[in-house]
Amino acid sequence: MKRMYVGGEWIESEGKQTIATKDPATQEVTAEVPRGGKTEIHHAIMAARKTFESDEWQDFAPEERGRILYEMASKLRHSAEEIAQLETMDTGKPISQARNDVEAAARYFEYYAGMADKIFGETIPVQANILDYTVREPVGVTAHIIPWNYPIQIASRSTAAAIATGNTVVVKPAEDTPLTAIKLAELFDETSLPKGVFNVVIGYGDEAGSALIHHKDINHITFTGSVQTGMLVMEAASRNIVPVTLELGGKSPNIVFSDAKMDEAADWIVKSVIQNAGQTCSAGSRLLVQEEVKDDLVERVKNRMLSLKMGPGIQDPDLGPVLSEKQFQRIESFLNIANKENASFLAGGKRAHVEGYENGYFLEPTLLDGLDPQSEVAQEEIFGPVLSVFTFKGEQEAVHLANATPYGLVTGVWTENIGRGHRLAKKIRAGQVFINNYGAGGGIQMPFGGYKKSGFGREKGLEALRNYTILKNVAVKM
């Protein structure tokens, strides 16, 4: 059985209760992990608090923090295949995608390692006999609630930034996919990082997660997940006046104009909606296409979808299973709505049979046409390999459609007219806009976050460092 990591020690849950994790391709139990709750969360936070306030950590040189983060990047790469297989076992994603996730995780540690000794303040001119300056200090103990779709990446990107800036952290991975968070703890345990800086507690959201967000000794909460849970996180944080960083998903469009390179656009449109079986916050789940090229582009997208290979992640197919029965039923409920609204199913729309893996929840990649843009299916995040098609006449209508959902995370714009691309980028209400590409290879350095119900605050890049520091002003009379 796996164990949790608290204060540099490997522990079981107080009540010896466990959670079974399952392989999404087979639904077979792959591991038993502790079911932590309020007690374990409290112990983890107290361990993190004790370490944060210790002379050892307060005097720990920034360049030494950076050295350890560099070491973590190296360890991740050294164990890359093992970690990728754990990630695929947990999430069901194709092994090549899991390998990319591990490399991205290593890049986060590498990137923030280089920033650990470059957290600068400023001097401010006030008056002749006053030296006024600012310093950026760590906020304290930070909570990191990790979703099940990209566990190794998302745990790494926020904890690396938090530790680089001098904080101590408590990680609560999703109960469905905790194995790589445990592996991160194992790797940290091999370094000279003071015990209590990095802590992992596994448990359900309404038990461990709730205890974490309500705890009075947490100084910042980073959460990636649903809008509904994000609202609960904000509400809990407000009671302790704790800042939050929220990344809550999207309903992201690819906007294709008649002058775009159609094959290139079609390739990326399909990739953007099938990655991780569509269980991606930045999935390109809406296709907005200029009327005169709709038939041509849709046919290209359809043909690509129909040619995709499905199977268990370890066989590295194009498309793996969705995580669980619960997730499959959620997607299915949206497809039922689309069917009732007389949408045209141009491809997919039903469970796929994969020989030898009949218990896995495989869904055919689905292409929908004929939906009202205000339909629930067109407005809400489905979190599956489902793409809805809409048409527009000109730029103004394209912008209107792009902005006409409650979300604003990512947008792709496809046009050879670079002026048009810039015009749309200015008018679209999304945290990231890609012109003639989608995703830029993961973009470790690029600030990532949303408008509207996609959340607020930014992860990745230098902007993320602001989440984990607090500004202090010092004025010295000379």
Contact 438, 409 (CB under 8 A): no
Residue with tokens 């048009």: 420
Cα–Cα distances in angstroms (integers) from residue 229 to residues 116, 144, 378, 451, 453, in the given order: 32, 14, 21, 17, 12
Q: Which residue has the tokens 């991780």?
A: 276
Q: Are the C-beta atoms of 259 and 416 separated by less than 8 Å?
A: yes
The Cβ of residue 170 has, within 10 Å, a number of other Cβ atoms equal to 28
Contacts (Cβ under 8 Å, ≥6 apart) of 168: 48, 49, 51, 52, 57, 140, 141, 142, 196, 197, 198, 199
Active site residues: 247
Please count the other Cβ atoms lying within 10 Å of the Cβ belonging to residue 391. 17
- In the chain, the amino acid numbered 212 is L
Q: With contact defined as beta carbons under 8 Å apart, do 70 and 109 qualify?
A: yes
428 close to 434: Cβ distance less than 8 angstroms: no
Q: Strands 220-224 and 244-247, how do they pair?
A: parallel
Q: Check: CB of residue 248 under 8 Å from CB of residue 231.
A: no
DSSP 3-state percent helix, strand, coil across the chain (nearest 5): 40, 20, 35
**Nearest CA-CA partner of 93 in 272, 317, 262:** 317
Please, which residues have CB within 8 angstroms of residue 426's CB and are 6 or more apart in sequence? none
CB-count exposure of residue 466 (10 Å: 0-12, 13-18, 19+): middle
Tell me which DSSP letter residue 352 carries.
Answer: P
